[in-house]
């Protein structure tokens, strides 16, 4: 059993070369046909398993998805040129199940559904043969996600299926299921919108769903146990997770219900980004990779031990052709069959930059609106050379790929490893330059001194479209819990003010903003920082919070509206940012926790000639001198109006409340 570890920051890397042990796999023949493992057509049912070094392979055919003996076992024939084993029957075996069994050095390994099972029986132990056309919801042929001209236009909302719907206050019938987001008209006990209507009201553009492929840790045959898991323990990469369906025993149901969810979101104008975890498998020797082609798909140290850059027991080998093709083809499959609009790569730096470039390029061919981003770090050392890793620091070696900025995250709210540590938005001095790195999306800017940055020491992003800015996600303390721990002793109104300020920084910064589900209504996780298997009582969002913290919700709504209606916050090139974003001179040593900047020249075609953003993270009021002019007040003292009608000012000395943002604009 593996644990989803905290995967939240850069890990120190030693210079390494790929291991001598893994060199043997480069010689293996590869096969990239689209008929791997299963094809059903007019001439029957055809199996083709890639396993170049197997002594023998057979297919077991079953009537049932998890019990009983095979009704037939087929021998398979080897083709040395492709390294694949084939078998066929003349019948179309819809409704039946199968497993492969590989003989490795004279020993028959355990049965496996293979690595390309697109439908599976309960708990994913056997692959299912289903008619995919029959799984399409009505109108599926015309279904498509939102257009994305620039990644900086996207606003990401990261959610877990159970978090969103399990709480009794969700008013949702299909709790914890894909179908939860297909229900219109759901409300909290106080009558406020929940579910998909809430997402529309909030104004985000994309939901990022935590792993929704078939994972290992939840027993799909015992759903009444209500087991919770984030799902970073991959089992079958190409089939949906059964516990999110209303009937995991019927392999078509999970496929259909996930498509229904995606269609409902698309109909609401919202894109769907999948969290993908190709970097490791839940099991080592027992993984489907090892049971089909032992040794090949995982990386090893020179002595043959599994290397473990994931911190979960192993790591996969994207630098080997068959694994690289697997990642490319698997994401393409989700984009094509499920109309998925984007991918968030877990521990992306375990993969090599060449693989990620090919993933993004191939996905663009399926759908030019697809957004790919990932964690630009590993959770341990890897045999892959640091210069080849898809690290944050290597993002400029990649095209159409973005990385999370841990710079902004840790600087705004305090470091993730220390619950009590405060950040810029909670009155800790000395973090101003690191916040500025986030504001300019880690691009080269004449007024930002990267040497003074806490995390990164150079402008690693060639373009703002390479950066995802955030203050919290599923990992670590969520924003509410972080504020409660680091601001212990202060009144809740200060924490709410700091929450608004922190998220204002994210939403007004260049790059793509990303938020964690429920933070708009001050959701917490009762201080549990690693809630990957905590019960629903910790993880589920209490929707009564929406009435209780309605002012906060309205503020978030204002932030999404402001960003969407003003392209100045969404510049698309580093040159534009360097030219149009100008910081005001403030001596941080004398006046800490104060940042002020202007977006000038109708930046990026904005109707506003100049936008002034002033951020006060101090626990006391701070005064700033605003240049004279006819300013509209867009945000002040914890209030926001995207139309700029909170009032007017001619500039001069203006005072910001503790933990607050001031946004002004002039035409």
Catalytic residue positions, numbered = 346, 375
With beta carbons less than 8 A apart as the criterion, state whether 299 and 284 touch.
Answer: no
Alpha-carbon distance of 238 to 213, in angstroms, equals 6
Minimum distance from residue 248 beta carbon to Ca ion (Å): 8
By beta-carbon proximity to Ca ion, the closer residue of 171 and 242 is 242
Q: How far is the CB of 265 from Ca ion (least distance, A)?
A: 22
Strand partners, 215: 234
Of the two residues 242 and 638, which places its CB atom closer to Ca ion in the complex?
242
Our finding on whether 214 is near Ca ion (CB under 5 A) is yes
Stretch touching Ca ion by CB under 5 A, among 210-218, 468-476, 486-494, 538-546: 210-218
Q: Report the residue closest to Ca ion, judged by CB.
A: 214
> How are beta strands 342-345 and 271-276 bridged, if at all?
parallel
* Residue 109 to residue 287: CA distance in whole angstroms: 11
231-250: contacts with Ca ion (CB under 5 A): 242
Q: Of the candidates 400, 521, 418, which has an alpha carbon nearest to the alpha carbon of residue 462?
A: 400
Q: Between 82 and 247, name the residue whose CB sits nearer to Ca ion.
A: 247
Asked if 600 contacts 580 with a C-beta cutoff of 8 angstroms, the reply is yes
Question: How far lies 180's CA from each of 72, 270, 438, 483, 524, in Å?
Answer: 39, 15, 35, 30, 21
Residue placing its CB nearer to Ca ion in the complex, 234 or 271: 234
Can residue 283 be called a binding residue for Ca ion (CB under 5 A)?
no
- Nearest Cα neighbor of 67 from 145, 125, 118, 139 is 125
Site size with Ca ion, rule: CB under 5 A: 2
**Cα 546 from Cα 563, distance rounded (Å):** 22
Between 28 and 97, name the residue whose CB sits nearer to Ca ion.
97
Q: Which is nearer to Ca ion, 254 or 563 (CB)?
A: 254
Each residue 50-69 as x (binds Ca ion by CB under 5 A) or -, in order, gives --------------------
- Strand, helix or coil for residue 649: strand
Tell me whether residue 241 or residue 490 sits nearer to Ca ion (CB atom): 241
CB of 434 within 8 A of CB of 454? yes
Residues contacting residue 313 through CB under 8 Å, at least 6 positions apart = 2, 280, 283, 284, 306
Cα–Cα separations (whole angstroms), residue 390 to 2, 8, 43, 356, 387: 24, 15, 43, 7, 8
Q: How far is CA 664 from the centre of its chain?
A: 33
**What's the number of CA atoms in the CB half-sphere (13 Å) around residue 519?**
30
DSSP codes of every residue in 137-196: PTTGGG------S-GGG--EEEE-HHHHH-SGGG--SSTTSGGGGG-TT-B-TTS-B-HH
CB of 100 to Ca ion, least distance (A): 19
How far apart are alpha carbons 37 and 504 in whole angstroms? 49
Q: How far is the CB of 286 from Ca ion (least distance, A)?
A: 14
| Binding site residues, Ca ion, CB under 5 A | 214, 242
């Amino acid at each position: 059993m593996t644990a989803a570890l905290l995967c939240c920051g850069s890990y120190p890397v030693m210079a390494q070369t790929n291991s001598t042990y893994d060199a043997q796999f480069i010689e293996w023949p590869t096969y990239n046909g689209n008929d791997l493992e299963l094809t059903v057509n007019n001439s029957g049912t055809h199996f083709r398993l890639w396993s170049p070094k197997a002594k023998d392979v057979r297919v077991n055919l079953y009537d049932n998805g998890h019990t009983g003996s095979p009704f037939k076992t087929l021998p398979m024939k080897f083709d040395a040129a492709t390294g694949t084993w084939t078998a066929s029957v003349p019948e179309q075996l819809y409704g039946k199940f199968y497993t492969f069994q590989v003989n490795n050095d004279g020993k028959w390994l355990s049965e496996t559904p293979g690595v390309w099972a697109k439908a599976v029986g309960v708990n994913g132990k056997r692959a299912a043969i289903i008619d995919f056309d029959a799984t399409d919801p009505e109108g599926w042929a015309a279904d498509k996600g939102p257009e994305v001209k620039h990644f900086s236009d996207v606003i990401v909302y990261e959610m877990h299926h159970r978090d969103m719907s399990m709480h009794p206050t969700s008013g949702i019938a299909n709790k914890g299921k894909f179908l939860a987001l297909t229900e219109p008209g759901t409300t909290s006990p106080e009558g406020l919108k929940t579910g998909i209507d809430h997402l529309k009201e909030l104004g985000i553009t994309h939901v990022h769903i935590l792993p929704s492929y078939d994972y290992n840790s939840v027993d799909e045959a015992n759903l009444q146990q209500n087991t919770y898991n984030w799902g970073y323990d991959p089992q079958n990469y190409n089939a949906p997770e059964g516990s999110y369906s209303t009937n995991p025993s019927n392999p078509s149901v999970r496929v259909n219900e996930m498509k229904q969810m995606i269609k409902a979101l698309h109909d609401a104008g919202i894109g769907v980004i999948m969290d993908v975890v190709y970097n490791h498998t839940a099991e080592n020797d027992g993984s489907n990779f090892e049971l089909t082609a032992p040794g090949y798909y995982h990386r090893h140290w020179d002595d043959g031990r599994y290397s473990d850059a994931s911190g979960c027991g192993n790591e996969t080998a994207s630098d080997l052709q068959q694994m690289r093709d697997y990642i490319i083809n698997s994401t393409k499959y989700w984009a094509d069959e499920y109309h998925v609009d984007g991918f968030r790569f877990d521990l992306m730096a375990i993969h090599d930059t060449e693989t990620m470039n090919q993933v993004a390029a191939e996905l663009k061919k399926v759908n030019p609106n697809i957004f790919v981003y990932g964690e630009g770090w590993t959770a341990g050392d890897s045999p892959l050379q640091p210069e080849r890793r898809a690290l944050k620091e290597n993002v400029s070696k990649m095209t159409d790929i973005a990385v999370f900025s841990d710079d902004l995250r840790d600087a705004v709210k305090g470091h993730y490893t220390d619950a009590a540590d405060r950040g810029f938005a909670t009155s800790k001095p000395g973090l101003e330059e690191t916040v500025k790195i986030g504001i300019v999306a880690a691009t080269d800017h004449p007024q930002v001194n990267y040497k003074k940055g806490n995390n990164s020491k150079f402008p690693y992003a060639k373009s703002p479209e390479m950066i995802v800015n955030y203050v919290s996600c599923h990992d670590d303390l969520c924003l509410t819990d972080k504020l409660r721990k680091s601001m212990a002793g202060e009144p809740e109104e200060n924490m709410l003010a700091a929450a608004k300020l922190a998220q204002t920084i994210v939403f007004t910064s260049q790059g793509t903003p990303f938020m964690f589900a429920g933070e708009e209504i001050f959701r917490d996780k009762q201080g549990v920082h690693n809630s990957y298997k905590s019960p629903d009582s910790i993880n589920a969002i209490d929707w009564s919070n929406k009435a209780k913290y309605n002012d906060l919700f309205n503020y978030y709504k204002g932030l999404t509206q402001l960003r969407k209606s003003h392209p100045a916050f969404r510049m698309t090139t580093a040159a534009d940012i360097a030219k149009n974003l100008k910081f005001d001179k403030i001596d941080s040593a004398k006046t800490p926790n104060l940042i002020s900047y202007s977006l000038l020249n109708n930046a990026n075609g904005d109707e506003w000639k100049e936008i002034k953003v002033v951020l006060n993270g101090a626990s006391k009021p701070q005064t700033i001198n605003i240049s004279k002019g006819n300013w509209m007040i867009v945000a002040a003292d914890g209030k926001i109006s995207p139309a700029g009608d909170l009032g007017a000012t001619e500039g001069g000395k203006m005072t910001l409340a503790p933990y607050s943002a001031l946004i002004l604009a002039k035409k």
